[in-house]
Structures are given as C-alpha cells and as structure tokens.
Amino acid sequence: VAYWCPFYSRTIARLNLPHSLIIFIPMMPNTALFPNGKSGPLADSSSYQQAPCAALAIKPAAGANIPDTTWTYKSVNEKDLQMSVFLPGGYEQGTRFPTFVVFHGGSWTGGEASWHYADCAYWRSRGMVAVSVDYRLKERDKVEVPLACVKDAKSAIRFLRTNATALKIDTDKIVVAGASAGGQLAAATAMIDAPTTNDDQDDLAISSRPNAVILCNPYFRCRKDLSPPNFITKELPPMITFLGDQDRAIKVDDLLAFHEALRKEGNASEYYVGKGGKHGFCNGRDPRNRFFYWSVLLEDRFLVKHGILKGELTLKVPNGVATLSEKDYDAYK
C-alpha cells in the first residue's frame, strides 16, 4: 500500500502494519521513521535531508504481543528481509533508545519472527526498541545454512547502526538474543569476524558486534568455522546463557564448558540451568510458561548490571504461574 503525503508530491513509506492505525503528521527534518521516501532499506543516516511528512504507527493496547511496524533491513534477490518492530512509550519524543534484537530458532530451516513477540513486548515495556528478525532459511530461500543466516544477522545489526539517528537507536546499547539456531546467530554476531560471514552489500566499516548477548539453549552444532565456541577470545560482549537440564539436543556440560572458556578469557558470562526444562523451554508463546518469566527476570538484572538498562522491572507474572526458587535451577557465574 502506498501512502500519499499531501505536503510533498511523492509517495512515501510502504508499511506493513496490521492491527495498527496509520496517521500522517508534519515532521521536522531527520526525524521520520522512513525519511528516504521509498520502500525498501533506509538510506544511510548521513544522507538524510528533509522529511516533510512521516508515517507513524499508533501502538496497540499496552501489553499486547503485537509489533508496531516492520522495517526492511536488506533485500536479497528481490526479496525484502524484515524485522518486526516494537516501539517503547515516548518513542516519538525521545532521541536514542537501547535496543533488543532477537533471532528465532528452527534449525535454520524453519521458524518465524512471531515466536519471540512476547520477549519483544516485555523489552518494549522496559523502554527498549525491540525487533524480531526474519532471516533466510534453507528450503524456503534455497540458501546455504547457517552461512546465509549469519550474514543476515550481521546485516540486521549493521542496518540498525547505519540508521541509528533516524530509528533512534543507541548504538552503544544493542542487545542481541537468540534461541536454538537463533542462539548460534546471536553468538556469531559477537564472536565471528571472518570476511566470508559478511554480506557483500554491507558496509564493513559499521560494526555488527552487539553490546550484550542473551542465549537460550543455543545450538552450536554446525560447521566448525561457524560454531561460536571455536572463536572465544578476550573482550567479548557480556553473555548470559540458559539451558534446560532435560534438553535432548544440547548437553549441560557442553554449555558449561562454553561458559567457563568465556570466563577464562576474562569475559563476563552467566549460565543458568533450569531443572526440568526441555529444548525451547524459555519461549514466551505459552503465557503460562514459568521458565519464560524466570529467564526474563534474570536477563533484566543482567542488562542492568552491565549498564544497558536502568530502572525497575516491569515483569508481571500471571496469577497461578509458579515462580522458580533457587532450588529449581543451577547458576554458574
């Protein structure tokens, strides 16, 4: 759908905003969400001139797991790759916001961004821009995985940094998260610098390394040159990792070794093992999943500890959902 701006004789901003109301209002220069006036990726922030009109989404009811908009972070073979975007309160009036970026699991062959809308809704309530990223998959897009997926993950981070002024991203407070195969992608953005893992259309002067990493049952069993445990060095971003002790795909000791290797190099790392948890046990699609609320609580404390967030928790556990006590999990710090 092309929306016409009455203040300027061209169409602007093809948006995909189901469940949301679109309004047009005059804007000051360089403040529009889509200032380059066309669909597809945003132009480099340094090239923005004047945006006489902008499309803004009216957010749904607070707490709803519904994105406010979508942003296209790159196009490959005429296909737009998008991220579902959750905007915090005060976004229109603010300047820079810490940002949460999440990659879904699915063995690099399936899955979808909506699997992590519950996560994004929470981080939106904590004052973050939160995005869940769609990336290329093996069968759907006929690509080599996880190489193409890693390239897309890095492109998504670079897109946010390149357009930080227009999108109001605090480039020093970008948190990347992922579950299962998405955990491999999240860790790869922080740990793997090989030139072959960069997309040819990316500006390599823009860093794809996040400022903190959240890993939920990360699945690292892939080719060696793309497996993050093979790239542990000093000065990596702080990492927090979760695993269920009943996960049949990942061994508790394997991720413990990953955690200990990170610590040995002087990196900040925390590792939590939920008793009774199976693969994907932290996912928030089930609103009564106690492991989801437990993991978000620990993630929030972790981000406050490392200066990404400030203020109090906004986490609300539904009535009847049991909270975990210290006897319900093992902690390694």
Q: What is the C-alpha to C-alpha distance for residues 326 and 73, in angstroms, rounded to an integer?
A: 41
The percent of residues above 90 in pLDDT, for the chain, comes to: 81
Compute the radius of gyration of the chain from its Cα atoms: 20
Q: Judge whether residue 51 has pLDDT over 80.
A: no
Cβ atoms of 160 and 99 within 8 Å: the answer is yes
Per-residue pLDDT at 40: 38
Token pair listed for 34: 């889509």
Instruction: Tell me the C-alpha to C-alpha distance, in Å, between residue 157 and each of 160, 197, 261.
Output: 5, 13, 25
Weakest-pLDDT range from 29-43, 104-118, 292-306: 29-43
Greater confidence (62 vs 182) lies with 182
Rounded to 10°, the helix 181-191/147-162 angle is: 60
Per-residue pLDDT at 151: 98
Q: What is the pTM of this model?
A: 0.83
Residue type at position 236: L
CATH of 69-332, one of 3.20.20.70, 3.40.50.720, 3.40.50.1820, 3.40.50.11810: 3.40.50.1820
Domains of the chain, by residue range, sit at: 69-332
Give the DSSP letter string of 260-326: HHHHHTT--EEEEEETT--TTTT-SSSTT-HHHHHHHHHHHHHHHHTTS--S-----PPTTPPPPPG
